[in-house]
Structure 1
């Protein structure tokens, strides 16, 4: 019998309790303890997205950075958005994409504004002539432990416009430029199924994203475009210290007892974008750390 192990040991991931940490929105990667892992030292590509052209929102940090890195190492060029104040974070994502030998285009963009979404799609078409993959990932949340009474109209509007309007506009505008075989991938959340009371407005939008994904997928299937979504559980990103009042036990409630690292989400997006998923559409890939989905 061979002594060769059947599988490689998994890297040890940080587990709570974490130090309490507070940041102003939108949050920054550098001060986080422990630092998020985007796959910088672990993700190995195999050409599954060779020469594809990807547009990704919220690519400056967190899940977006991990997806941009993975797409690049799989052979894709990446145009991604960031808020104007996130230029330093965006520069690091761009560096990772370029170090993989691919083109990176970082675009300051507030997807709450329809005209900015239009200009984003136009920029991608000028760069490449087409969009093979659209990843609607940018999101906004702000916990309100005092409940619905504490959710202002301003906050509600920002959550809905970021999480839903931007996705709707970009999908609508990009579809004429997505060729047969292309795909749209949206980021929903375990919150769509198991809403936390202090994230009521955010959870509501994530439920809507799941519905939008499944409806749009049926609408465009005949055009050869696939539409799917990824539903992460708790993930250790800058949004957490910037929007939650307590970071010490973040992710502890999941059956795996910890939050995911962004690098653990990226392979789901790669799979859904690849030709290996050519018969998969209108699906939600749940990456929740073991939380059962009804």
Structure 2
């Protein structure tokens, strides 16, 4: 059996941390200049965060914590809520196998758990966060399903194809691909986005999705699906995430285009476009003081938790629920 490891995850993680250090240094200088201006975080006594879920979710201020890239969920002061204890499975994915990139933490972990609860075996691809990946595996196996861990870099085309082959060898099939792995970092000045940062963002978020989809499309059976993780930034843009928003808009266009191409094969392709979600991605992106305000400016005045986003991925993967849906972008952003 070929070994699906790009042999570069540690190198990629080191590169992402180097980019992060450069941006952090510039951001710290600008933040110091902006301090003392009395900016409010957008939450007033009249505008309390909205709580409409099965349980109460954390509200800003969030923990003022800044993580090193790529971001480990295990060290977050406030652990994301991913296990959705009130979500009851009903066999929507019985007998299926799903491959989830970035499945070690955040949205990817919650999707893995809910897919398992719906009857699917799971394979997750992750970069170098082994502790997070093992926790996801434990959670999937607690649902009574099998879980395969594959570490590597989705920027590497050979790794993507090798990973898909490993999944098919292990489980005998592939029915669902979830493209979720991502790189983002806030940059206040457009002119300061380096070629290195631009390259890392585009190759992780676009090349990674493209290579995984290309590798999976030849194996996904009729009735299967590809679900891409887009973003509200790909719909509305974001002045401090120009390169990231650019890739998310590209993912939305890729979703629509690939959907039309794969219709003859009976494979549906859709995307979920989340708003602010409490995962390691943002504390590994913004300075600690900015992290405190994360989600405060959304309509609901708080960030989502991963378990609030994951059911949308179930909906779009389930042939019982979305058999007539392809090429769609489903925003889950807490209100426009």
TM range (shorter): over 0.9
2:170 to 123, 127, 144: 127
Question: CA-to-partner distance for each residue in 1:37-92, whole Å, 9 max, x for gaps?
Answer: 002533321111011010110000000000000000110000011112x0010000
Deviates most, 176-185 or 39-48: 39-48
- Counterpart of 2:134 in structure 1 is 91
1:52 to 83, 96, 99: 96
Query: Is the counterpart of residue 202 in structure 1 residue 244 in structure 2?
Result: yes
1:171 and 1:94 map into 2 onto residues whose CA distance is 23
Secondary structure of residue in 1 paired with 2:259: helix
Shift of 1:148: 1.7
- Counterpart of 1:254 in structure 2 is 298
Shift of 1:284: 0.8
TM-score (norm 2): 0.82
Secondary structure of residue in 1 paired with 2:74: coil
TM-score (norm 1): 0.93
Q: Where does 1:13-28 land on structure 2 (aligned, <5 Å)?
A: 13-28=57-72
1:142 and 1:9 map into 2 onto residues whose CA distance is 30
For structure 1, the residue ranges without an aligned partner over 5 or more in a row are 1-7
1:118 to 147, 150, 161: 161
Shift of 1:9: 6.6
Question: CA-to-partner distance for each residue in 1:68-120, whole Å, 9 max, x for gaps?
Answer: 00000110000011112x00100000001111110100100100111111111
Query: Is the counterpart of residue 285 in structure 1 residue 330 in structure 2?
Result: yes
For structure 2, the residue ranges without an aligned partner over 5 or more in a row are 1-51
Question: CA-to-partner distance for each residue in 1:187-234, whole Å, 9 max, x for gaps?
Answer: 000000122211110000000000000011011112111000000000
What number of residue pairs does the alignment pair up?
A: 282
1:43 and 1:93 map into 2 onto residues whose CA distance is 17
Structure 1 residue ranges (4+ consecutive) displaced by more than 6 angstroms after TM superposition: none
Flag the 1:180–1:70 CA change in 2: closer, same or farther, 3 A: same
Residues 79, 104 of structure 1: 8 Å contact kept:
yes
2:171 and 2:139 map into 1 onto residues whose CA distance is 20
1:42 and 1:104 map into 2 onto residues whose CA distance is 22
- Counterpart of 1:30 in structure 2 is 74
Shift of 1:30: 3.0
- Counterpart of 1:211 in structure 2 is 253
Secondary structure of residue in 2 paired with 1:182: strand
Query: Is the counterpart of residue 177 in structure 1 residue 219 in structure 2?
Result: yes
2:232 to 190, 197, 216: 190
Residues 18, 33 of structure 1: 8 Å contact kept:
no
Residues 74, 131 of structure 2: 8 Å contact kept:
no
Secondary structure of residue in 2 paired with 1:198: coil
- Counterpart of 1:230 in structure 2 is 272
